Amino acid sequence: MRVKRLTVLKCAVLTAALLTFLSLAAARCPDPKLQEAVIGGNTIAGGVVLHRRSLRHAKVRLYFSSGEIAWAGKTDKNGRFATSELKAGDYRIEIRGWGTTTIHLNPELDKRFMQKPAWGLLFVDNTCVADIQVMN
């Protein structure tokens, strides 16, 4: 139960950081490097925003590189979602109302830090994906 509470707390911190990024984001992603993301850890979590508003209750599907579904869920009332534990590798994420992109999950990135970071993503206006690391 404590682990779940810690995960919820991390998601809240990530959301606050991601919304700060949102206030600086343009309507379209000016940098093509922000059209996909590379993160550490073993989960994919984040928030979806369209036109500066959270995308509520949107279907989210995550696919293995083979095309099989790795995880399926929905965003909550605040536009957030979080997957279960995943293996390292490349995933295609599809968010209804937002679009699709590629997420590279690389737990080796965690080794660069003294503490294990919590990773989060912000999906903005159909094209931008920003990643943020939050230290425990």
23 class by beta-carbon count within 10 Å (0-12 exposed, 13-18 middle, 19+ buried): exposed
| Domain limits, the chain | 2-135
Q: Confirm if 33 and 39 have CB atoms less than 8 A apart.
A: no
pTM comes to 0.73
Using the predicted structure, report yes or no on whether residue 32 has a pLDDT greater than 80: no
d(CA 104, CA 37): 6
User: Which DSSP category does 31 fall into?
Assistant: -
Compute the average pLDDT of residues 17-29. Answer: 48
First to last CA, the chain: 17
Superfamily grouping for domain 2-135: Immunoglobulins (2.60.40.10)
User: Which DSSP category does 55 fall into?
Assistant: -
Strands (E), 88-127: 89-95, 99-105, 117-124
∠ CA(93), CA(33), CA(66), 5° rounding?
A: 30
- Tokens, residue 31: 């940098």
In this predicted structure, what is the pLDDT of residue 6? 47
Greater confidence (24 vs 106) lies with 106
